[in-house]
Amino acid sequence: MPELPEVETTARSLRPRLVGLHVTAVDGVDWPRMLPNTTEEDLRSALVGRRVASVDRRGKYLLIGFDDDQWLAVHRKMSGNLLLQDSDVPPERHTHLSIQLDNGQRLRFVDARKFGRVYLFRLREQLDDFLAERLGPDSLVDLDEGVLAAKLRGRKARLKPLLLDQAFLAGVGNLYADEALWAARLHPLRTADSLSPAEVRRLAQAIKQVLVMGIERRGTSFSTYRDSDGSAGENQDHLNVYGREGQPCPRCSTPIRRILIGQRSSYFCPRDQRESVKRRVVSGSVSPSGTDRPPPGGTLPSATGRAPRAAGSRR
């Protein structure tokens, strides 16, 4: 599933090439369920003749703004891609929406599994209300140690499911959650209330780190994800734990393990990411011990600290 880095990569690619163009046609909708709050006719009425004013992102939603306060919010779900192609290029199989632009190109939504959704909003206020109901702080824009500490306070949930909850923190999915927990040396089944302040700080830093590196490498491509030019990302060649069951941990060479948490695969190092937390009494209070040591050098381990995975390795 495209996560925040993949959506951000697409937004950055589309922004300079879409803003200022006008929509001349909307067609190709062959899967009405992809439009939960609108129809092809409504899209045509709302967008034809209007100029693209902005391309942005919130969590995993790509947001396209038009003049007269018209908005599209695109959620790619499992396999959706937004491709900007010349009009004379035949549409790919599984193209479910096509937006013709006045420069001779088309913005096409291609989604083999048909889970993706496109929403239309007639006011920015409506879009903001929609996002506020579904999304917590944005993991790239809003997150810091203080924000994460406030979100974790009073919670007893396991870390991995909590990070996947978009209402808790927007943008992180299965892959980047595993990578961030490895970088922070935290077991995916640790509970929120077991984290020390130092661990909260490491986790906040790790989340930002893996997202930034994912964006710099133009996303992670295992099967279906492509950027707006149709090109695959490169981050899959630099993953530390995700999809690497049985392979050596880049830090300590212990074989990576995989477990199921809520029907989702989770990858971790059983040596560096221990589930149990020993506790000691310090100045009359109880604090974690044994899992709170800083990484070597006092900084987070580099996400680039291992060789690319071998060709042909799979998710």
Cβ atoms of residues 220 and 214 within 8 Å: yes
Predicted TM-score (pTM) of the model is: 0.85
Categorise residue 190: left if φ over 0, alpha if ψ from -120 to 50, beta otherwise: beta
Give the CATH superfamily of 4-134: MutM-like, N-terminal (3.20.190.10)
Specify burial of residue 170 (Cβ count, 10 A radius: 0-12, 13-18, 19+).
buried
Check whether 147 has a pLDDT greater than 70.
yes
Same topology for domains 4-134 and 145-298, yes or no? no
Of 143 and 235, the structure prediction assigns the larger pLDDT to 143
Check whether 63 has a pLDDT greater than 50.
yes
pLDDT tens column, 164-222: 999 999 999 999 999 999 999 999 999 999 999 999 999 999 999 999 999 999 888 76
Summarize the confidence of residues 126-151 as an average pLDDT: 97
Check whether 304 has a pLDDT greater than 70.
no
The CATH T-level fold of domain 145-298 is: Helicase, Ruva Protein; domain 3 (1.10.8)
Q: Report angle CA 257, 225, 126 to the nearest 5 degrees.
A: 110
Alpha helix (H) residue ranges in 81-196? 124-134, 145-152, 159-164, 174-183
Chain centroid, CA 279 distance in Å: 34
Q: Please tell me the predicted confidence (pLDDT) of residue 312.
A: 41
Check whether 241 has a pLDDT greater than 80.
yes
Cβ atoms of residues 27 and 45 within 8 Å: no
- Which residue numbers are catalytic? 2-3, 60, 264
What ranges do the domains of the chain cover?
Answer: 4-134, 145-298
